[in-house]
Chain A
Amino acid sequence: MSLAAHEFQFVSGLVRREASIVLEPGKEYLVEARLLPLARKAGLASVTEFLLRAQSPSGRADRDSIVDALTTNETSWFRDREPFTALTDMVIPQLVKARGPARSMRVWSAASSSGQEPYTLAILLKENLPPGWTYEILGTDISTEMLARAERGRYSQLEVNRGLPAPLLVKHFTRVGPEWEVAAPIKKAVSFKRLNLAAPFPPMPTFDVVFLRNVLIYFDVETKRGVLKRIRSLLKPDGWLFLGAAETTMGIDDGFERVVTGRTSAYRPRTGISAPVGVTGKG
């Protein structure tokens, strides 16, 4: 059972148009693995049948679900702990000092998937900001299915087993039947919105910290450049950007400066280079 070349072309063309995500030849196995559950859910015998239906004029919903299935990543809580350590040990203390009078912080989880990252960020801010500080987290994703899941804030036993320290589980989650739900004070601090990173952004506020992990790897260089430029325009001049371990701004956007911290890197707008929109001057 393997995907025919024209089927792969249809799928890669679709996710390219809709989400600016590049699926290179060789990723047929990924497409097949992600689409097989969709075919089964639709009561069809094979991915081929599902793709035929998706290509028909009435296949809009199927095409959306294909984009959904191929643009979402498995996420876990603190599993990749280096960026979170950098956030609590370096970024939060620095920003607390700099934001003294305002006593508030705004963080963006730019590919929030099923919600683990924005909720993790909210838990960290709650645990690490001085008393009296307020914080808000924005989670965005291209997948409406993932946004709905994230907003619900409920996770299975298997999901909470993955990288969520038990002391934080009992402190910030409540048991609801067989699932665990993010507790109200954390949920209240997090909002979700659909956003295609590859397209021009709607009006948005500026952020102190942006998490954009394991997203750029899916984009071609031009799209990466556009995404980084738009994000830079929304990052405060002394704000921080976190990318995935295999990603960098280097060679793509000179407006960022890389700072090595612990075993990871974080990026901040280079001073002296104005962000393209909205933000000018130094912090």
Chain B
Amino acid sequence: MVIDDSRAMRLILRRIVSGLNFDVVEAGNGREALDRLAELEVVPELALIDWNMPEMNGLEFVTAVRADKKYRGMTLMMVTTESEHGQIVRALAAGAHEYVIKPFTPDAIVDKLVMLGLIPDGAHA
């Protein structure tokens, strides 16, 4: 699941993860993402989450998802311009597994997914 209020950013992230054989669902903010999750039959393995979005921001989304046992298997990765030390700590404390700071290169996303064990090393070569 790709959650970002920028259509261009959703497209960039969609390209990266669909290239790694993920099926992608998009949402424009945290609220929309929770609605989409409720409709889906299979819980996504991974969510790439922007921080600053209207209606419900990424941190609120992470907190909401972590409070719901149904979504325990979901890996949550923030992908955001928020780059302060304290912000990263807050996101991790709320339950995000990983954090990528914008701007990023596609390799940065791939590296993190390898480290999280979501894709095998070398699968993207």
Contacts and interface: CB of A to CB of B under 8 A. Distances in A.
B111 A162 contact: yes
Contacts of A174: 85
B89 interface: yes
Interface stretch (B13-21, B27-35, B63-71, B94-102): B94-102
B11 interface: no
B79 to A, nearest CB: 10
B108 interface: yes
B108 A162 contact: yes
Given A166-B98, A169-B88, A161 B115 contact: no
B104 to A, nearest CB: 5
Contacts of A175: 83-85
Interface stretch (A9-17, A41-49, A76-84, A219-227): A76-84
A170 B85 contact: yes
B88 A170 contact: yes
B119 interface: no
B98 A161 contact: no
A81 B101 contact: no
Interface residues of A, number: 19
Contacts, number: 52
A163 B111 contact: yes
Interface in B66-94: 83-85, 88-89, 91-92
Nearest to A166: B99
Contact of A165 (B91, B101, B115): B115
A157 interface: yes
B115 A81 contact: yes
Contact of A161 (B84, B91, B101, B121): B101
A159 to B, nearest CB: 10
Interface string B101-116: 1011101100110110
Given A78-B115, A79-B114, A166-B98, A161 B108 contact: yes
A175 B88 CA distance: 11
Interface in A170-192: 170, 174-175
> How many B residues are at the interface, by size bracket?
20 to 34
Given A157-B83, A158-B105, A166 B111 contact: no
A247 B115 CA distance: 22
B73 to A, nearest CB: 19
A241 interface: no
A167 interface: yes
Contact of A158 (B84, B104, B114, B121): B104
Nearest to B104: A161
A174 B84 CA distance: 10
B92 A170 contact: yes
Contacts of B96: 166
A160 interface: yes
Interface string A78-105: 1111100000000000000000000000
Contacts of A76: 111
A165 B98 contact: yes
Interface in B20-75: none
Nearest to A180: B85
B103 to A, nearest CB: 7
Nearest to B79: A161
17 contacts: A79-B111, A81-B114, A157-B83, A158-B104, A160-B101, A161-B105, A161-B111, A162-B107, A165-B98, A165-B112, A166-B92, A166-B96, A166-B97, A169-B88, A170-B92, A174-B85, A175-B85
Given A79-B111, A170-B92, 7 more contacts: A76-B111, A81-B115, A158-B103, A162-B108, A163-B111, A175-B84, A175-B85
Sort A-B residue pairs by CB-CB distance and give the 5 closest, nearest first: A166-B99, A161-B108, A163-B111, A175-B85, A170-B88
